[in-house]
Structure 1
Amino acid sequence: MAGSSGESVLSRVVRIIESFGSEAPALRVSEIARRADLHIATASRLVEELVGYGWLQRDDDRRVRIGVRMWELASRASPTLSLREAAMPFMEDLHAVVGHHVQLGVRESDEVLFVERLSAPGAVINLTRIAGRLSLHVSSSGIVLLAHAPSSVQEKVLAGPLRAYTAHTVVDPKQLRALLADVRKSGVAVCRGFVDPRATGVAVPLRGPDNTVVAALSTIVPNDDNARMHIPALQAAARGVSRAMGVQDLCGRTQYFSH
């Protein structure tokens, strides 16, 4: 169904839902209208309908946020559900060893989407969060996923612009291309201070049943001389996740990928 402007109601609802984010989890209707580029009366009417369905909910101060019903549907139907279920036991073991952050990321176009994260009180600073995104060139997970992405994706990213989060973020296309080649060869990305000077990201690929890289498993630890010591535990966890996802060789035996 389309409104008088010819725009469908669905497209308006999508803009309302996309108004919310980690920096704005709760909004007033007037803010939703502005962010969604809707007349306030239209936004108010659609918000009320979405609240009725449980997709949105109102706080005591009348601010609106994503509803439990939408979270339920998204979690139940998530395409990353099986990946997260396979990875979680190994992420928990890895987290017990690392003691800082352990993350699971997948590629969405030219960004890495973090679908799971384990942390701890007192852990090193980490700007990522569940359902958060970063450009592929910025984080260790993104570098791993970019290294194994189709050439068209790599060339698009290398063509820029490449944002520098710190002085250590690789934004020179030639240097980034060399880094990607090294990651494909070594099987691990160690990114010191790419996102924050105090932290190092270390990531390895996760492979699916067809041997393609489907995700990246990473740790975020202090930027010191001990960062690389976590690589063996990270690689062991990655092999465990791949086995849990049914990765086998041609003889039907479990395939252990060397990193």
Structure 2
Amino acid sequence: MSPAADVAEDGAPRSVLGRALGVLGAFTDASPELTLSDLVTLTGLPPATAHRIVAELVGWGALERVGRGRYRIGLRLWRIGALAPAARTLREAALAPMQDLAAVTGHVVHLVVRDGYRALFVERLPGREELTVRSRVGRDMPLHASGPGKVLLAHAPAAFVEELIARGLPRLAPGTITDPAALRAALDGIRRSGHCLSREEMTEGTASVAAPVVGADGTVVAALGVVVPVGAALPPYVPAVKVAAATASRNLGSRPPR
């Protein structure tokens, strides 16, 4: 059967699996909790069908009830996602150096990968000092609006960068770069220096230092960064961040250039 045969004229999937995936796909970072009515509206499913699928997903653990009439993604689905070989290998390679960096700096440490046009946070270690940050594991943000995201963007193909710019550069915080020429210049600087210094680009009141994590094939597969108060001097954090990123890279099988 062709893929088109599994889709109705209104674009809704006909198969049970397709409908279940449609329900799960309705949850986003902006809408982590949804009601049954929300799911009916977002998926186009009949209420009875949506109710049956949601009940089965809850029973299996892919969804969980939150209060009265609201649902969110369940832990069982998260555990399965964590088994993905690439993500698991990356997290295992980066965890020890991230722990060292968090211990040395006392601040939040992030591990971020590129997911389409977004920066996806795959690991986050808390700091000793309280600092309000937007990040959490599983959350995604615009690539241009954070230090780790800009590190990933700096090592992406030029055509990809231009596509991202054409899509628009929304402002998240006072320091977010929204001018295409300024972003291109910032990415050039990251490639030359091997790190990124960022102030109030993702969250007001915070700054960050980030560096690339390189895989065994020599490509940048992630970015590792530390988040500090906006008034902190950033250059002193650069060596520690670069050491952590380099250690994670070695753990992945990357070798420094001769």
Same fold (TM over 0.5): yes
| Cα 1:62–1:78 shift into 2, 3 Å | farther
> Contact between 1:99 and 1:123, CA under 8 Å: does it hold in 2?
no
Question: Aligned AA for 1:38?
Answer: L
Q: Report the equivalent of 1:19.
A: 26
| Cα 1:4–1:142 shift into 2, 3 Å | closer
Q: Report the equivalent of 2:72.
A: 65
TM-score of the superposed pair, with normalisation by structure 2: 0.88
Of stretches 166-175 and 179-188 in structure 1, the one that deviates more from structure 2 is 166-175
Match of 1:77 among 63, 84, 89: 84
Determine helix, strand or coil for the equivalent of 1:120. coil
Separation in 1, partners of 2:7, 2:184: 48
| Cα 1:193–1:59 shift into 2, 3 Å | closer
| Cα 1:33–1:121 shift into 2, 3 Å | farther
- C-alpha displacement of 1:99: 1.2
Separation in 2, partners of 1:25, 1:159: 28
Separation in 1, partners of 2:137, 2:112: 9
Question: Aligned AA for 2:135?
Answer: T
- Is residue 194 from structure 1 mapped to residue 205 from structure 2 by the alignment? no
> Contact between 1:158 and 1:177, CA under 8 Å: does it hold in 2?
no
Question: Aligned AA for 2:61?
Answer: G
Of stretches 36-45 and 211-220 in structure 1, the one that deviates more from structure 2 is 36-45
- After the TM superposition, which residues 164-203 of structure 1 pair with which residues of structure 2 at under 5 Å, given as runs? 164-203=171-210
Separation in 1, partners of 2:74, 2:85: 16
Larger helix fraction of residues:
2
Q: Report the equivalent of 2:47.
A: 40
Determine helix, strand or coil for the equivalent of 1:71. helix
Determine helix, strand or coil for the equivalent of 1:129. coil
Separation in 1, partners of 2:68, 2:42: 20
Of stretches 127-136 and 82-91 in structure 1, the one that deviates more from structure 2 is 127-136
Match of 2:97 among 57, 71, 90: 90
> Contact between 1:199 and 1:223, CA under 8 Å: does it hold in 2?
yes
| Unpaired stretches in structure 2, ≥5 consecutive residues | none
Separation in 2, partners of 1:3, 1:152: 32
TM-score of the superposed pair, with normalisation by structure 1: 0.88
Q: Report the equivalent of 2:241.
A: 234
> Contact between 1:109 and 1:153, CA under 8 Å: does it hold in 2?
no
> Contact between 2:29 and 2:140, CA under 8 Å: does it hold in 1?
no
Q: Report the equivalent of 2:13.
A: 7
* Identity among equivalent pairs (%): 37
Question: Aligned AA for 2:185?
Answer: A
